[in-house]
Chains A and B, each alone.
Chain A
């Protein structure tokens, strides 16, 4: 504990960890960033402790690395960028502060996982717009702060959704609340006046939460966040559409999302769908994959409180008009996968082991935002790069998620590999660097840059970086917040 006495004063001895094993655990992850051992790990219990810590860090000019979700981590953003850092592990802050059915909003602390929040909101007749099968340890706040794509594009009005308001301790040590939560009054007073912490932007002309999102912990530490929730459907009717022709499927996706006919809606390739559905690798995985066409679209129709059967049947009519026009057919099963089973899966976090790890033990994701018209070309580029490097493109997972109500599409390549095999590991590492470069040349937009390419991606536009640095100077003038990430 030598040197960490002042931290012990804030957190108590059992919440300041500096044993070798713990430090080792927090010094690296599945990404390819170089491991850096932190000075210690602290486990705050409340916002007050977080604020004290940030003030302490400013005094001592000590880097802080906030982390909400439990391991395994994948993207390098929670690996210290420089030595001597204190990792701020918020996973113990687990309060579900409020679930408000009338306002369709929930408020949670940073350690609350999807697995924990889902039943709490369901009890109130609500549901979350989730990322696709997050790992069990993934926290809701962690996912929202990273602007992770969610599976119901219809309810994804803005790329920042479903995040609503946050309480944040800026890098200066000041506490701030964003959006409707900012004031007037305390949160409790706002509730008493009939309000909820729902509107994200403001106060004033700035949208402060947008500066915290996507920042990888470089602007401040979020101590709670509120998020919009959707109504729990009374009736659901999921479908699968298989095809070898991606452009046709994407045409269908466009119309389904555009006309707001569907809730969950995304496309997976055969490898990813099999990886999600298989419980045993490689046998069951391969069996399922063999039954599947190259691409499968999953979508789900829903009826709510009023005449749910009528609604779903009218939607089925709408969907079948479109599928007929495009020349595709929606089914209850494709190959060995049933739509109903798939729906069950996407409403929950991934079963253990995490679907990306079940097959080979590790997975490296390359993801970006793009438009429908470019997707086929970009997938072709990725296939070429993979094949050339010796990684069979056919083994690679692909996940296409329409986002922002169809204005664009999240495209994700999942490179499954065996971390114990140095050749495979090196291949994926090299291949990913090469792929990012080639994909950028095709207009792939790496809006959330992580890992070794992050700096190269963000530094390409000097005016943008200059503007970000001006914000950083205000919110974290001493650069205590996660130094070494993004352009900071």
Chain B
């Protein structure tokens, strides 16, 4: 359904003719024939667009950088925030940066590196938005996670009201997002649009720019990591029990800049440049590793710090019978992993390249050891799919990483497959549902979003879906924004479960 001419004109008056389109070619690029694309350029324009959505009861959805791969299923206003792409401030003394939604981590990191700082880069990589609100990332050991990095925030609610959290509302500053009184950081992920946000940033003792050399796609560094007080290693262990022991000890001893539970297939995808090379390398790694493993990056603030951290790492690995994968000790491979994992962030090669698509079961924020029993079962089920040739034949393992010095973490298992093969897609969906159900029945975790209906999950988790529905209703009385908002903490509303929040008598997206 296209907007009527008059309504289209009202939106056009807000953003200008060049920033609105219902041209079929443009819509196709946004993956749906049924939407009107709008590119607001400021908070005020976002608010005005949402107000119009309320006036005409038209649902809307916002996109920062689109890495959630949200596929629209009905007509609405699609707000692409790409014109809001400014780094507003980098405050070194108080260790935060303020960005608009279309600033990507690569841009922010380039500026931060110059100042000896870094930020959390989401798991989808450095082309993902630098907004704090969104996503966990592999450097979580040092850079915490999306849900805990946000400071002051500018939030346009689903009614188009601009709410300024924390110091922003009180004094137009960015250093704190909580209060006065209770913190609205508790609700803003439930809907509306974040237009500017301060994110915590962290110390980076490494170079202000990596000494990159080589030609695409094979880059490496002209300096050995050890010359920059950095080291990358991959360790495998005789058992999961030993791996967990090592992971916990590394977390508690505060020596790791990053502890990323790559399985060998993830390492091989990241240091190779094609599928053929990838599978050859994987075969070699699979022969070499003794069991499950993880990658560790050690970064020294100064020589003595680097020496101390290496010494502790060696001791822990000895105690836990870990073995270093020789291929990663090669300074070239080490350097590639280093800059990829700290600047590019690894995911794309390891997820999309092999089959074209991947689907994950993950639990964010909880430590690996909490879920290992459950995901071992998931790995067994995944191997059945591998044997049937339905998903890419990798090592079939779950993985995880540490966050905040091992206080928190992330656990995940994914299948890579060909999305155009119906049998594969169906098998993967069934696998996810089975694993998700097991998460609930085994009292392990709230499974990742979109896998089971929210009310099935909610009933098993303090009925949070009912309370969340009330929040939605309170902040979005016309039901225009039910598909927006972001969460990676269990099931959310992002388009998948609209039915339970939808009020047909209000905004009525056409399915």
**A residues within 8 Å of B by Cβ?**
102-104, 147, 155, 157-160, 175-178, 180, 182-186, 189-190, 192-196, 198-216, 218-219, 228, 231, 254, 258-261, 304-307, 310-311, 313-315, 317-318, 321, 369-373, 404-408, 440, 443, 445-449, 457-458, 460-461, 463-464, 466-468, 470-471, 473-474, 486-487
Query: What is the bound-complex CA distance between A215 and B442, given in angstroms?
Result: 34
Chain A residues positioned under 8 Å from B200 (CB to CB): 404-405, 407
Apart from the given pairs A195-B445, A304-B252, 20 other A-B contacts in the complex at a CB distance below 8 Å: A157-B404, A182-B446, A184-B446, A193-B373, A193-B374, A201-B148, A205-B486, A206-B187, A207-B189, A259-B205, A304-B254, A318-B301, A371-B175, A373-B93, A407-B95, A445-B171, A447-B176, A447-B178, A463-B163, A467-B184
The answer to the question of B166 belonging to the interface, with a C-beta cut-off of 8 Å to chain A, is yes
The answer to the question of B316 belonging to the interface, with a C-beta cut-off of 8 Å to chain A, is yes
Chain A residues positioned under 8 Å from B460 (CB to CB): 183-185
Which of B151, B254, B486 lies in contact with A407, CB distance below 8 A? B151
- Report the minimum CB–CB distance from B123 to chain A (whole Å): 16
- Report the minimum CB–CB distance from A223 to chain B (whole Å): 13
The answer to the question of B12 belonging to the interface, with a C-beta cut-off of 8 Å to chain A, is no
Which of B94, B185, B311 lies in contact with A207, CB distance below 8 A? B185
Closest to B175 in A: A408
Q: In the complex, which residues 356-371 of chain B have their Cβ closer than 8 Å to any Cβ of chain A?
A: 365-367, 369-371
Q: Are B444 and A193 in contact (CB under 8 A)?
A: yes
Given contacts A192-B443, A463-B169, A464-B164, contact A206 B148 (CB under 8 A): no
The answer to the question of B48 belonging to the interface, with a C-beta cut-off of 8 Å to chain A, is no
Closest to B205 in A: A259
Q: In the complex, which residues 391-425 of chain B have their Cβ closer than 8 Å to any Cβ of chain A?
A: 404-405, 407-408
Closest to B441 in A: A184
Please name the 6 residue pairs, one residue from A and one from B, whose CB atoms are nearest each other, closest first: A185-B443, A210-B186, A447-B179, A205-B487, A183-B461, A202-B489
Q: Are B157 and A467 in contact (CB under 8 A)?
A: yes
What number of residue pairs across chains A and B have CB atoms under 8 A from each other? 316
Which of B164, B173, B470 lies in contact with A474, CB distance below 8 A? B470
The answer to the question of B110 belonging to the interface, with a C-beta cut-off of 8 Å to chain A, is no
Query: What is the bound-complex CA distance between A62 and B62, given in angstroms?
Result: 43
Q: Are A310 and B311 in contact (CB under 8 A)?
A: yes
Q: Are B182 and A184 in contact (CB under 8 A)?
A: no
Closest to B93 in A: A372
Query: What is the bound-complex CA distance between A159 and B468, given in angstroms?
Result: 23
Query: What is the bound-complex CA distance between A168 and B475, given in angstroms?
Result: 23
Chain B residues positioned under 8 Å from A486 (CB to CB): 180-182
Which of B164, B190, B440, B454 lies in contact with A206, CB distance below 8 A? B190
The answer to the question of B67 belonging to the interface, with a C-beta cut-off of 8 Å to chain A, is no
Chain A residues positioned under 8 Å from B202 (CB to CB): 405
Q: In the complex, which residues 15-53 of chain B have their Cβ closer than 8 Å to any Cβ of chain A?
A: none
Query: What is the bound-complex CA distance between A210 and B176, given in angstroms?
Result: 14
Closest to B439 in A: A184
Q: Are B486 and A448 in contact (CB under 8 A)?
A: no
Q: Are A180 and B253 in contact (CB under 8 A)?
A: no
Q: In the complex, which residues 189-209 of chain B have their Cβ closer than 8 Å to any Cβ of chain A?
A: 189-190, 200, 202-203, 205
Chain B residues positioned under 8 Å from A254 (CB to CB): 93
- Report the minimum CB–CB distance from B337 to chain A (whole Å): 23
- Report the minimum CB–CB distance from B403 to chain A (whole Å): 9
Q: Are A102 and B248 in contact (CB under 8 A)?
A: yes
Q: Are B203 and A258 in contact (CB under 8 A)?
A: yes
Closest to B365 in A: A199
Q: Are B182 and A194 in contact (CB under 8 A)?
A: no
- Report the minimum CB–CB distance from B95 to chain A (whole Å): 5
Chain A residues positioned under 8 Å from B374 (CB to CB): 193
Given contacts A306-B312, A372-B93, A464-B163, contact A204 B465 (CB under 8 A): yes
Q: Are A464 and B461 in contact (CB under 8 A)?
A: no
Chain A residues positioned under 8 Å from B468 (CB to CB): 204-206
- Report the minimum CB–CB distance from B361 to chain A (whole Å): 15
The answer to the question of B283 belonging to the interface, with a C-beta cut-off of 8 Å to chain A, is no
Q: Which residue, of B165, B248, B312, has the highest number of chain A Cβ atoms within 10 A?
A: B312
The answer to the question of B147 belonging to the interface, with a C-beta cut-off of 8 Å to chain A, is yes
The answer to the question of B474 belonging to the interface, with a C-beta cut-off of 8 Å to chain A, is yes
Query: What is the bound-complex CA distance between A260 and B187, given in angstroms?
Result: 31
Chain B residues positioned under 8 Å from A200 (CB to CB): 365
Chain A residues positioned under 8 Å from B439 (CB to CB): 184
- The segment out of B72-80, B101-109, B302-310, B320-328 that lies at the interface is B302-310
Given contacts A314-B304, A369-B175, contact A198 B367 (CB under 8 A): yes
Q: What would be 5 A-B contacts, judged by CB atoms less than 8 Å apart?
A: A205-B489, A213-B182, A213-B183, A311-B312, A458-B181
Q: Are B366 and A463 in contact (CB under 8 A)?
A: no
Chain A residues positioned under 8 Å from B370 (CB to CB): 193-196
Query: What is the bound-complex CA distance between A195 and B367, given in angstroms?
Result: 9
Closest to B372 in A: A194
Q: Are A182 and B464 in contact (CB under 8 A)?
A: yes
Closest to B165 in A: A464
- The segment out of B220-228, B286-294, B490-498 that lies at the interface is B490-498
Q: In the complex, which residues 471-501 of chain B have their Cβ closer than 8 Å to any Cβ of chain A?
A: 471, 474-475, 485-487, 489-493
Query: What is the bound-complex CA distance between A177 and B458, given in angstroms?
Result: 12
Query: What is the bound-complex CA distance between A203 and B486, given in angstroms?
Result: 13
Given contacts A182-B446, A199-B366, A305-B253, contact A207 B186 (CB under 8 A): yes
Given contacts A260-B203, A311-B308, contact A449 B446 (CB under 8 A): no
- Report the minimum CB–CB distance from A416 to chain B (whole Å): 26
The answer to the question of B111 belonging to the interface, with a C-beta cut-off of 8 Å to chain A, is no
Given contacts A198-B367, A211-B187, A467-B163, contact A321 B444 (CB under 8 A): no
